């Protein structure tokens, strides 16, 4: 029923080792960093992570694991 070639998660797997922006549900902050690992629930392991509020860089978080269900969106850093 689902063509595995086009699964949305494949797009995220293709971003491992590159910089991503993660929008958190109900949160003005975004997180930006390098994607180290991702699983089928979109749980993310990131490093070199920092907070962004609007276009302004905020706190450094370093290494962090983010639970997938609280993520709104994942996008490559342009």
Per CB under 8 A, residues contacting a second copy are: 1-2, 4, 6-13, 16, 24-27, 36-40, 42-45, 61-76, 78
Q: How far is the CB of 47 from a second copy (least distance, A)?
A: 10
Q: To the nearest 10°, report the CA torsion of 40, 46, 51, 53.
A: -40
Nearer to a second copy, 52 or 64 (CB): 64
φ, ψ for residue 55 (rounded to 5)? -100, 10
Q: How far is the CB of 32 from a second copy (least distance, A)?
A: 14
Q: How far is the CB of 76 from a second copy (least distance, A)?
A: 6
Nearer to a second copy, 56 or 69 (CB): 69
Compute how many other C-beta atoms are within 10 angstroms of the C-beta atom of residue 51: 18
Task: Please work out, in degrees rounded to the nearest 5, the angle formed at the alpha carbon of residue 14 by the alpha carbons of 55 and 30.
Answer: 20
């Amino acid at each position: 029923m689902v063509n595995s070639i086009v699964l949305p998660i494949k797009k995220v797997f293709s971003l491992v080792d590159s910089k991503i922006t993660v929008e958190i549900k109900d949160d003005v902050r975004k997180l930006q960093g390098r994607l180290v690992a991702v699983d089928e629930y979109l749980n993310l392991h990131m490093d070199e992570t920092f907070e962004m509020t609007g276009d302004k860089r905020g706190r450094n978080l370093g290494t962090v694991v983010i639970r997938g269900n609280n993520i709104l969106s994942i996008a490559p850093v342009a």
